[in-house]
Structures are given as C-alpha cells and as structure tokens.
C-alpha cells in the first residue's frame, strides 16, 4: 500500500521545486486560477445580492392594482417560486453556454443586448484610455523631473482638484459650458451603427473628456510616486554620481523599474473606466451597458441586472489579472531566476 501511494503522489517538495524552477509560469498560473475563482465568487454574490434586495419584479411590473393571484402566476411563469440554488445553477450553466436569458420586461435576448451595448461602452472607455494613459504617464514624468518646483506644484494642484470632483459633477459642468453656454458638442451623446468611427468619436467628446478628467489625476499621482520611490534606490544615487543627467536617469533607469506599480495603477483605472461608465452614460444618455443596467434596475429586470453585473465583474477581474501578469513579466528577478 505504501509503494502505491509513493508512486501516485508527487515527492515532498515537488511543487516547491517546480515553482523554484519555473517561477514566472507558476505565478502566472496562480493568477489565472485566482481570477477564475474570483469570477465564480462574484457570480454568487451578484445573484444572491440581487435576490435579497427588497421589492419584487412581479409586483413592480403589474402595478399596485395587481391581485395576489396575478402576482403568483407571473412569479411562477418566470420561475421565481423555485429555490434560489436551483435557479442559480441553471443561470450559471446557461451563462457557460453564452446564454444570459431573456429580459423579463421586453422579452429580448440579454446576450444580444449586451453584445450591442458593450461595444459602445468599450468605445467610450477605450477612447478615454488612449488619451488618459499616455497623458498621465507623461505628466508624472514631468512632475518628477521638476520635483518640488513650480511645474510640479501646478500639476499636483490641478490633479488634487480633479480628484476632488465626482464624475457626475464634472459631466454636468462640461454640459453647462460646452452645450448650454458655448454649444460645441452634441447632447445627448447618441451613437448609431450607421455612423463612421470618426462621427462616433465626435459625438462622445464630452463623455470621454469626463472620464479622462476623472482618472487622469490618480494615474498621474501614482506614476509620480512610483518613480520617486525608485529614485531613492542606491543604484539611482550611483547613476547620479556618475554624472548621468536627470532626464536620462528617469527615463532610462527609474521608469523601467517602476513599471510594475505603474501597470497596476493603470489597469485599476482602466477597470474603473469600464465599470465607472455607468454614471457617465446615465448623465449623457449614452446607449451603453451602464444605461442598459440602470434602466433594468428601475423595473427589477433581474436577468438584465445579473448579466450586466457579471460582465462588469468579468472585465474588472480580467484587467486586474492582466495587470498582475504584466507585473510578473516585467520583474527582472522572475525573468532571470538564479
């Protein structure tokens, strides 16, 4: 019996040895497994959390004049009278096959509606990211280069002001200035499939500007902090003693070694762009995922709310997982293990 067990089980320290020989691959595999586990846990929280909320779809849909029998019939039609565990596992299995169910309010396929609206939300977030990320990294480098001088103080002051303003306030402020007082942009920000990409970008100028202002300051400040932290290292002091210029030392030596925290903060803000578009889409009446979910919440359309919530969670987890993996890949200790 002992021989059989020793032949079937790995030797002591097998996984420790495997991780020591392949540190990068093992850590990437850990992040992927953790991401899958988090997505599964998110699905449970989303389904259960929406279920325990007060109110009922049948009562909301039928109105106050509905009879108890009519409410009971509608609940039975949508399966709301069955146990929550049964409905959860049916929902989870259907999602694994790409089926988010049908909207209770409109009867349309939730998967098809999400596919149509997700592209609009990704266009909004992607356009904001293309502007915010290089601008934040560039301003962070400038702030470090002119550290504790006028340029650094001005950038920090503007970033603090931007961080202090919530996105809905920024959105309404932009609408007041660029739509009401000095009309230069369209409102609401409606896009159509027949539009060209350039026409869509012209239409979403104000929502994109709102998102850029919201995430730019945080990314810039974290970039500045990460590079300053690296600048305090001994090898950076050695580089300065060798007479390397400040700009070259920051760009060539400090910035590459600060990539890991910069990647993490950029990924977190990109995830926020995807999830944070909800408020911006509602303010600008933009036909994206956020607007779709808010409309469904008002009538307690559970399949739509659960589907949108799971998609947002999946994107958030995916971006964080990609950030972790990129941080591992740029780590010299893992790329060149001894």
CATH number for position 182: 1.10.3720.10
Q: Give residue 186's domain range.
A: 110-335
153: tokens are: 């103080």
Per residue of the chain (338 residues), give pLDDT as tens: 445 454 555 554 554 565 666 667 777 888 888 989 999 999 999 888 877 777 666 776 676 777 778 878 877 877 777 888 888 898 899 898 888 888 887 888 898 888 888 888 888 888 888 888 888 888 888 888 888 888 888 888 888 887 788 888 888 888 888 888 877 766 666 666 667 777 777 788 888 888 888 888 888 888 888 877 777 776 666 766 666 666 677 666 666 667 777 777 787 778 778 777 888 888 888 888 888 888 888 777 888 888 998 998 898 888 888 888 887 777 665 555 55
Q: What separation, in Å, do the N-terminal and C-terminal C-alpha atoms of the chain show? A: 39
Task: Examine residue 52 and state whether it is found in any structural domain, yes or no.
Answer: no
Task: Examine residue 70 and state whether it is found in any structural domain, yes or no.
Answer: no
Number of independent structural domains in the chain? 1
Task: Examine residue 226 and state whether it is found in any structural domain, yes or no.
Answer: yes
SS3 123: helix
Task: Examine residue 69 and state whether it is found in any structural domain, yes or no.
Answer: no
Output the pLDDT for position 241. 67
Task: Examine residue 56 and state whether it is found in any structural domain, yes or no.
Answer: no
Question: CA–CA separation, 141 vs 250, rounded Å?
Answer: 8
Closest of 304, 290, 288, 282 to residue 57, by C-alpha:
304
Q: Residue 166, preceding bond cis, omega within 30 degrees?
A: no
SS3 55: coil
Task: Examine residue 140 and state whether it is found in any structural domain, yes or no.
Answer: yes
Task: Examine residue 151 and state whether it is found in any structural domain, yes or no.
Answer: yes
Answer positive or negative: Cα dihedral of 328, 329, 333, 338: positive
Q: Write down the pTM of the prediction.
A: 0.77
SS3 109: strand
């Amino acid at each position: 019996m002992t021989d059989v067990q020793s032949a079937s089980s790995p030797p002591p320290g097998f996984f420790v040895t495997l991780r020591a020989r392949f540190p990068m691959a093992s850590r990437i595999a850990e992040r992927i497994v953790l991401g899958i586990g988090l997505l599964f846990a998110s699905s449970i929280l989303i389904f259960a959390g929406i279920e325990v909320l007060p109110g009922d779809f049948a009562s909301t849909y039928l109105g106050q004049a509905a009879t108890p029998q009519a409410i009971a019939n509608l609940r039975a039609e949508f399966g709301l009278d069955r146990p929550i565990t049964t409905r959860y596992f049916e929902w989870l299995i259907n999602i694994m096959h790409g089926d988010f169910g049908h909207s209770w309010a409109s009867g349309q396929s939730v998967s098809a509606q999400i596919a149509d609206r997700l592209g609009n939300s990704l266009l909004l977030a992607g356009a904001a990211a293309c502007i915010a990320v290089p601008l934040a990294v560039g301003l962070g480098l400038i702030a470090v280069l002119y550290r504790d001088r006028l340029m650094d103080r001005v950038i920090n002051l503007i970033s603090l002001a931007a961080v202090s303003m919530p996105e809905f306030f920024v959105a309404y402020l932009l609408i007041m200035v660029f739509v009401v007082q000095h009309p230069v942009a369209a409102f609401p920000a409606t896009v159509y499939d027949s539009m060209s990409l350039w026409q869509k970008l012209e239409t979403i100028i104000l929502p994109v500007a709102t998102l850029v202002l919201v995430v730019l300051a945080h990314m810039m400040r974290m970039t500045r902090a990460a590079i300053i932290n690296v600048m305090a290292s001994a090898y950076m002091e050695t580089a300065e003693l060798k007479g390397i210029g400040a700009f070259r030392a920051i760009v060539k030596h400090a910035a590459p070694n600060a990539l890991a925290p910069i990647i993490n903060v950029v990924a977190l803000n990109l995830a926020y762009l995807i999830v944070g578009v909800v408020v911006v889409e509602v303010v600008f009446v933009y036909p994206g995922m956020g607007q779709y979910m808010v409309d469904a919440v008002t009538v307690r359309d559970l399949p739509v709310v659960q589907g949108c919530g799971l998609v947002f969670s999946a994107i958030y987890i995916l971006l964080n997982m990609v950030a972790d993996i990129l941080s591992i890949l740029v780590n010299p200790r893992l790329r060149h293990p001894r």
